[in-house]
Structure 1
Amino acid sequence: MSERIFEVADDTFEARVLDAVTPTLVAFVASWCGPCTELRPRLSALASARDTLQVAFCDVDLNAATARKYGVRGMPTLALFTDAGLDTMRVGALSSSQLETWLDHQLTN
């Protein structure tokens, strides 16, 4: 994975996401989740196309404390973190155009 696309765990979440200076889109996923698997390449392409965004994947089965802290109940859950903390969340495997529209709206407001 590139430096803007990475995995996070309970013990690395704060340093990699909360302390980041770059907005970070966290995908809360699970290995058994089909939509999560389908979403992964879209998010990787998104991170590659946007210099001002990083994407982190957090496996909820391996990192239950972080998932619980942010109230993750459905897979996949996308959470956008900015310098202000948790900005917004969406549940579901969004299409590429839905991802672009959602992020454009959130990052320009």
Structure 2
Amino acid sequence: MTFLVLACALPQYGNWWPFFLVAFYLLVPFPLVISKRYGDSSGGTNPCREMAVFITSIMVISAFGLPVILARAPLAAPVIAWGAAWLSITANVIIFLTIMGFFMAFDNDDVDYSMW
């Protein structure tokens, strides 16, 4: 989040448009959490889980594309500077790797809760 706030708050960049990426950070985990809750846990392929991974990947790619689009359009006067775009992309990498690490660490179903 520090890189994202820097992309918005540094004087040479000076606008808060990159902060809209927070919406992606909040929405990305939901398809996987919902599919885990309502998907069947049988072996083989799970269409609900595959659709959730597809929707999540669309959101992640969109989050990487938004700073690039804001830095390029319109050509005469871009919405954000390229420095802010690179700081936003760096924030994306760090936050999405953190979300992925969280899901990898806490995704095991073989936890026995009855021992508590």
Indicate the TM-score class for this superposition, using the shorter chain for normalisation: under 0.3
Q: TM-score, normalised by structure 1?
A: 0.28
Q: Indicate the structure (1 or 2) with the bigger Cα radius of gyration.
A: 2
Larger strand share, 1 or 2? 1
State the TM-score, normalizing by the size of structure 2.
0.26
